[in-house]
Amino acid sequence: MGYLKYLRESWKHPSPELESLWKERLMQWRQEPVTLRIEHPTRMDRARSLGYKAKPGYVVVRQRVDRGGRMRPKSVAGKRMGGRRPRHRRLFKVLDISYRLVAEQRTAKQFPNCEVLNSYFVAQDGKHYWYEVILVDKSHPAILADRRIAWIAEGQHKGRVYRGLTSAGRRSRGLRRKGKGAEKLRPSRAAHFRRKQRRKE
């Protein structure tokens, strides 16, 4: 059994001795910048399974995301005008995407020369989530020479994290489902809505 399998088991079933270590680690991470490039993945087993290679051209970034605060704020104008009906207060969620996808998009803004390959969960506390995002430098010679990853430098993959093409994006779009009950998800929910509107016309 390889060492990565032991790492994976320790993440799934952590020992009590690691609790103090994790508390110290979270205390340190709270003091660090929101977006921080790191030398090595914290979860090497997960990073390797998602395509990370310890070679030039690969970048790992730890991204912190605030929990909560995704509902629309109450209308200030409604208070001055004497309030609004509850149905018109528009307090539903602004985003229909996961925290993981938010972390990927914020990381991609800080590294415009790279494309997001994948990401994975690292830690959480009462106020934050931490994700590690695997980026690929699409203009690096080592990446262009590797036929297994050179596809990410092609034009159709530009800005893939903003178009819901990463694993987290496809999950938020509902593309993990197949068959009965998933007829309205492909090629996308917006495309299905437009097609239905054209049929009505």
Assign residue 135 the CATH number of its domain.
3.40.1120.10
* Residue 183 resides in a domain: no
Whether residue 4 is contained in a domain is answered as: no
* Domain-embedded: residue 10: no
- How much of the chain, in percent, has pLDDT values that exceed 90? 63
Residue 74 has pLDDT above 80, yes or no: no
Report the C-alpha gap between 60 and 158 in whole angstroms: 19
In a domain, 14, yes or no: no
Instruction: Give 119-138 pLDDT, tens digit per residue.
Output: 999 999 999 999 999 999 99
The pLDDT of residue 92 = 66
Question: 3-state DSSP call for residue 77?
Answer: helix
The domain tally of the chain equals: 1
| pLDDT band at 163; cut points 50, 70, 90 | very high
Question: Quick check: is 184 in a domain?
Answer: no
Q: Residue 41's pLDDT is what?
A: 96
**Contact present, 135 and 117 (Cβ < 8 Å):** yes
- Over 90: is that where the pLDDT of 90 sits? no
- Write down the pLDDT at residue 100: 96
Average pLDDT over residues 134-161: 96
Q: What is the mean pLDDT of residues 70-81?
A: 62
Q: How confident is the model at residue 14 (pLDDT cuts 50, 70, 90)?
A: confident
Contacts of 57 (CB under 8 A, 6+ apart): 136, 137, 140, 142, 143, 149
Which of 191, 196, 152 lies closest to 175, judged by CA?
191
pLDDT score at 109: 97
Amino acid at 156: Q
Question: What's the pLDDT band for 19 if we cut at 50, 70, 90?
Answer: confident
With bands split at pLDDT 50, 70 and 90, how would you rate the model's confidence at 176? very high
Residue 79 has pLDDT above 60, yes or no: no
Residue at 132 is within a domain: yes
Domain that holds residue 53: 33-171
